[in-house]
Structure 1
Amino acid sequence: MQDFSFYNPTRIEFGAGKIASLDQLVPANAHVLVLFGGESARRTGTLDEVTAALGEREVQLFGGIEPNPSFETLMEAVALVRRHNIDFLLAVGGGSVIDGTKFVAAAALFEGDAWEVLTSMGQNIEKALPFGTVLTLPATGSEMNQGSVITLKSLQAKLPFKSELVYPQFSVLDPVKTYTLPTRQVANGVVDAFVHVMEQYLTYPTQAPVQDRFAEGLLQTLIELGPNALTEPQDYSTRASLMWTATLALNGLIGAGVPQDWATHMLGHELTALHNLDHAQTLAVVLPEMLRQRKAAKIGKLVQYAERVWNIHQGSDDDKAEAAIKHTRDFFEAMGVKTRLGDYGLGAEHIDGIINSLEQHGMVALGEHGDVTPAHCRQILLASL
């Protein structure tokens, strides 16, 4: 196991009816901006429940945060924060709304060009507004981590940033709020959480049995519960377990003391920015071939993954690795998330643009060893057609 520093200050309030706890969680004298996405927050009654829980506090609303939150939209929220002297933010939604709220929290107090929050990957953030979240879509783990990904539409750029200053103070997780989610969003959430675990787990052995077993348990849980989440949308036990698994997949715990990859995510971000694919769709396309093209470097963990997660014990190490990769692709397909570029209308003619964008954003040395080059990414995309 590698040395590490682990820090996570986010309070979790988990369970049905927990939105009522906002009255105790948000300072009584706060001037609150509630940020949300589309109209589903209003339609399902969640927004009314939130505002009721906030009671007599001064509350402003900001809706319209996109599935891939844009810098342009979020800067409108920043202007609103400054205009109304907002001192507390509350995200109501999934990972995109929470990611966007993290950016607003940092940008509202940033001196200078707020785009530098992203180009510095968060390294120049000195202060941020406090905020909490009400999670309605389990997927990204943003409700309990310090990371965010924001898109600048004018440049077709999707960039990540992180800072300990943008951990949520608290997150409310009510599984009942997931009952009305569209099937596509639930499936995407399962795939997203699965790949988050894989990016931290499937690298190379480092004698970290605690992290490995924890990661393997999360993967097995997603494999077991994923199909049930689609067919039994109001099964509280399934939705509760899925919600907590997605949070644990990226709250820093399983990644402490182990190498991490993230090449699949970086390449996937370019697909989203250029071609507007759902984040999980890009991960489902990239991950299987990312594993296959890097099989030699990952063989130790691929065999472990095959044996422990998929119960594959027959054949050579190469046979096991190939079978595990196939099982992974089949799982994504079974969740209804397609795994080929062609499934989304993309062909070989689109690859040059993706690679050029990757290079322009400085993503030229990816992976746990920093040896995944744009040339490797080109081969991965060609194999993903």
Structure 2
Amino acid sequence: MQNFRFMSPTDFIFGKDTELQVGTEIQKYGKKVLFHYGGGHIKKNGLYDRIITSMDDSGIEYIELGGVKANPDVGLVREGIEICREEQVDFILAAGGGSVIDSAKAIAMGVSYERDVWDFFEGEAEIPEALPVGVILTIPATGSEASNTTVVTNSAEGHLKRAVSSDLLKPVFSIMNPELTYSLPAYQTAAGGVDIMSHVLERYFTLEPDCGFTDRLCEATLRTVIQCLPNVLKNPNDYAARAELMWTGTIAHNGILGVGRIEDWGSHMLGHEISALYDLTHGATLSIIIPQWMEYVYQTDLTRFVKYAVNVWQVEEDFYHPERTALEGMKRTKEYFRSVGMPVSLSEAGIGAEGIEEMAEKCTKYGAVGGFMKLEKEDCMTIYKNAR
């Protein structure tokens, strides 16, 4: 096990009607808020009105900035930064899923920076400080309500999708009411479930020995998602299953599952390039890439893939032919993704082969990716080709 430091400063406020507390929570950190959200969903389900009422009752002054789309773009981030500067905003409230939260984090870190915020995503600057960010989560998926990371797309300068991580970006509070997810479309729910699983898998597949405790935490988280996701797709108003799914999303990406381990993140890097070029939902890129990544790298540590098959998918272990066990676990992963309505190939997502070299080139722009197996450009191209 590697040495590690783990910090989780976010105050998680979980349960029914917890969004009604948002005004009181904001009072602890600021007085003038940038209220950041996406499209009309929070207005249709009444969340917007409840937030406004709570802020008004608490005497919070606010400026609104909506319009966040899936795969949030740096253009809107820059607009938000300018608003915060001009209006002297001291707090940002993100109401939505990962895209809204990531956009809010990017705005927060750019307000005090004199140059362009994209510098952080290109690795040309360190984050000096960030405005505090609070969250009302509406989509369990990215774990951004608990993570130290923001992922943003630069569509105007080459369809680039990049991530920045800093503990300064962890939200100060995250309000999580599972009832707010009842009205999510099935596809968005499923994509979120795949995203949650991917965050666990990026940590589970490690070459670091002696991580038995976090292995078991990872396996329990994966099995919970595997059980609960079909339940909420069948019964969207199943509070118990929605609650389990929402909390696993947080645990999957607040860092606790990765302590002491060398994480991978190769699948995410490959998936980001698909999203950047084709604007495909993040979870869909992962349902396509993860099975192909597994098939490409499993011989790096066959024993770990056997463990995954047995402990996560309950595959009966073939002690004489361990490879058969590993392959069955990979097969069940792919079948599961398909069973919840997610694509498992580029063609199923309506994507051809013409962008493969460009994606591989961008994926490895700063060098090989992945901690479990280092993937060079040619490796990435092979995985993309196998995913057709």
Question: TM-score of the superposition, structure 1-length normalised?
Answer: 0.97
Offset at residue 59 of structure 1 (A):
1.1
Superposition pairs for residues 29-48 of structure 1, below 5 Å? Answer: 30-48=31-49
Does structure 2 retain, via aligned residues, the 8 Å contact 1:143–1:171? yes
Give the drift of 1:370.
5.9
Q: Which amino acid aligns with 1:147?
A: T
User: How many angstroms apart in 1 are the aligned matches of 2:109 and 2:362?
Assistant: 26
1:340 maps to 2:342: no
**d(CA) in 1 for partners of 2:309, 2:21:** 43
Cα distance between partner residues in 1 of 2:206 and 2:260: 12
Shift, 1:353, TM fit: 2.1
8 Å contact from structure 2 (residues 306, 317) kept in 1: no
Superposed, which structure 2 residues align to 1:315-354 within 5 Å? 315=318, 316-354=321-359
Partner of 1:138: 140
Match of residue 158 from structure 1: 161
Alignment match of 1:262 (pick from 258, 261, 265): 265
Deviation at 1:369, TM superposition (A): 4.9
- Whether 1:383 and 2:382 are equivalent positions in the alignment is no
- Report the 3-state secondary structure (helix = DSSP H, G, I; strand = E; otherwise coil) of the residue aligned with 1:325: helix
Does residue 72 of structure 2 align to residue 69 of structure 1?
yes
Given that 1:6 and 1:253 are in contact with CA atoms closer than 8 Å, whether structure 2 keeps it comes out as yes
For residue 145 of structure 2, give the secondary structure of its aligned residue in structure 1. helix
AA paired with 2:355? H
1:372 corresponds to: 375
Give the count of matched residue pairs: 382
Taking structure 1 as reference, are residues 228 and 306 closer, same or farther at Cα in structure 2, changes over 3 Å only? same
Instruction: Tell me the equivalent position of 1:9.
Output: 9
User: How big is the shift at 1:295?
Assistant: 1.3
Q: Does 1:118 align with 2:127?
A: no
1:265 counterpart SS class: helix
**Deviation of 1:145 (Å):** 1.1
Provide, for residues 243-288 of structure 1, a one-character-per-residue CA deviation record: whole Å limited to 9, x for no partner: 0001100000000111210000001000000111110111111111
User: Is the Cα contact below 8 Å between 2:34 and 2:92 reproduced in 1?
Assistant: yes
Deviation of 1:225 after TM superposition, in Å, equals 0.6
- After superposition, the C-alpha distances for 1:6-37 in whole angstroms (9 at most, x for unaligned) are 11100000000111222321126610111000
Q: CA deviation digits over 1:81-122, x for unaligned, max 9?
A: 11111111100000110000000000111122221121128x
2:53 aligned residue = 52
1-structure distance, mates of 2:372, 2:222: 23
Find the residue that maps to 1:191 and give its secondary structure: helix
Question: Residue 329 and residue 370 in structure 1: after superposition, are their counterparts in 2 closer, same or farther (change >3 A)?
Answer: closer
Whether the aligned pair in 2 keeps the contact of 1:30 and 1:58 (CA below 8 Å) is yes
Structure 2 Cα separation of the partners of residues 326 and 287 of structure 1? 11
Conserved? CA contact 1:91–1:131, under 8 Å: yes
1:311 pairs, out of 302, 314, 332, with: 314
**8 Å contact from structure 2 (residues 137, 177) kept in 1:** yes
Q: 1:264, 1:286 within 8 Å by CA — same for their partners in 2?
A: yes
CA contact (8 A) 1:145 1:167 kept: yes
RMSD of aligned Cα (Å): 1.3
**C-alpha deviation, 1:372, in angstroms:** 1.1
- Structure 1 position 196 matched with structure 2 position 233: no
C-alpha distance in 2 between matches for 1:12 and 1:62: 24
Which of 227, 249, 253 pairs up with 1:250? 253
Mapping of residues 263-282 of structure 1, within 5 Å: 263-282=266-285
Quick one: distance in 1 between partners of 2:183 and 2:153? Answer: 27
Whether the 8 Å contact between 1:65 and 1:74 is mirrored in structure 2 is no
**Amino acid in structure 1 at the alignment position of 2:183:** T
Q: Segments of 4+ in structure 1 off by > 6 A? A: none
Shift of 1:3: 1.1
Q: Secondary structure at the match of 2:64?
A: strand
Q: CA deviation at 1:133?
A: 0.3
Is this contact kept in 1: 2:12–2:175, CA < 8 A?
Answer: yes
In the TM superposition, residue 349 of structure 1 has moved relative to its aligned partner by 2.8
CA drift at 1:378? 1.0
Task: Write the distance in 2 (CA, Å) between the matches of 1:6 and 1:90.
Answer: 25
**Aligned residue number for residue 23 of structure 2:** 23
What amino acid sits opposite 1:14 in the alignment?
F
Between 201-210 and 300-309, report the one with greater CA deviation. 201-210
**C-alpha displacement at 1:313, in angstroms?**
2.1
Q: How does 1:166-185 map to 2 (within 5 A)?
A: 166-185=169-188
| 3-state DSSP of counterpart to 2:142 | coil
CA deviations over 1:160-219 (Å, ceiling 9, x no partner) = 001111110000000010011111110001000011100000223511111000000000
Q: Is the 8 A contact 1:205 1:300 kept in 2?
A: no
CA deviation map 1:214-255 (0-9, x unaligned): 000000001111100111101110100000001100000000
How many angstroms apart in 2 are the aligned matches of 1:144 and 1:374? 32
